[in-house]
Amino acid sequence: MPGSLIVCPTPIGNLDDITIRVRDALVSADYIACEDTRRTGGLLEKLGIRPAPPLVSNHEGNEAARATELAQRIERGACVVLVSDAGMPAISDPGFRLIRRCLERNLEVVVLPGPSVVPVALVASGLPTDRWRFEGFLPKRSGEMERVLRSKETVIAFESPRRVGESLAALAAIAPDRPAAVCRELSKMHEEVSRGSLGELARRFRGDVKGEIVLVIGPAASEEHEGDIGFAVDALRHLVQSGARPRAAASVVAALTGTRANDLYRALTGREPRR
C-alpha cells in the first residue's frame, strides 16, 4: 500500500507553538523532508525526539529532483513528513513541487494546521481582515510596488531587514497616508508591531533593522479617500517631489484613488494636460 505525505507547519519562533499532531507526525515519520537538515535536526533535539527519523534535504536548489524521489518512496509505502525552517511549507518556502508531484500520482497528502506568520501579521496589524492577499516578498521595482498599492485588499508581504527602510520610503512616496504595519520577530523574544501611515513608518525605519520582517499594507481607495481630490493631489505632490514625472505620476495616483488623472494634473500644475 502507498504511504502518505504529511505537511507539517513548525513554530515561527516560540517552540511552545508546536501542535501535538505535528509532534506525533515527526515521531512516526519514515523520512522528514526539510529545508535545512541542521535546523530541523535542532528542532527535533529540542523536542526530545530521539532517535530522529532520517532527514532528507528539500530546498530550493534540489526540490525539483527531490520531489520525484520522495514521491517514489511514498508510492512504496513510506510516510514522509514535509517541513520548512519555520511556518507552513510551500508558503514562500519549498514544498509546492513535492505536494504537486504527490497529487499528480494520486498519493495521499495530509496538511496539518499550525503556525504561520501570514495570518498572525494580518491580525496584529489592526488592518481590515475581510479581504486580503499574500504577496510573498515585496517586489523591488517601482512599477511593481505601484501595483501592490493599487490593491483593494489588505496586502501582506515579506521584506528583508536590509531593504525595509528603502522599501517603505518608496511606498511612502506613492501613498504616504496609507495605513500600514511593520511586524518584526513575531512570536519571538523581541516581537514588535509598529503601526502608522507609510510616511510615518518610513521615517521610523530609516536605519538598520534586525530580525524577520512582515509588512502589512492597508487597501487602496478606502471610502473616506475615494475620489477625494485633496488627498489625491497631496499624494501626487509627494510622488513628484520624489522625482516622478507629473503625467505618469498622475496616472498612478488616479488608479489608486479613483480620481481622474487630468484633474490631478491640472490641480498640481495649473495647466491643462497635453492631448
Task: CATH number of the domain at 91, please.
Answer: 3.40.1010.10
* Residue type at 251 in one-letter notation: S
pLDDT of residue 221: 65
Q: Which of 111, 139, 172 is the last residue of a domain?
A: 111
Both 102 and 131 in one domain: the answer is no
Domain that holds residue 174: 117-217
Q: How many CA atoms lie within 13 A of 22 on its CB side?
A: 25
Both 171 and 264 in one domain: the answer is no
Q: Kindly report the CA angle at 222 between 191 and 183, in degrees rounded to 5?
A: 10
Both 197 and 243 in one domain: the answer is no
pLDDT of residue 224: 44
What number is the average pLDDT over the span 85-103? 94
Domain count, the chain: 3
Both 65 and 139 in one domain: the answer is no
Rounded to two decimals, what is the model's pTM? 0.75
Q: Residue 267's pLDDT band (boundaries 50, 70, 90)?
A: confident
DSSP string, 143-185: HHHHHHHT-SSEEEEEE-TTTHHHHHHHHHHH-TT-EEEEEES
pLDDT at 96 over 80: yes
Both 144 and 197 in one domain: the answer is yes
Least confident of 173-187, 192-206, 251-265: 251-265
What number is the average pLDDT over the span 123-152? 89
Both 107 and 123 in one domain: the answer is no
pLDDT at 73 over 60: yes
Both 126 and 55 in one domain: the answer is no
Burial class from Cβ neighbours inside 10 Å (0-12, 13-18, 19+) for residue 241 reads exposed
Burial class from Cβ neighbours inside 10 Å (0-12, 13-18, 19+) for residue 237 reads middle
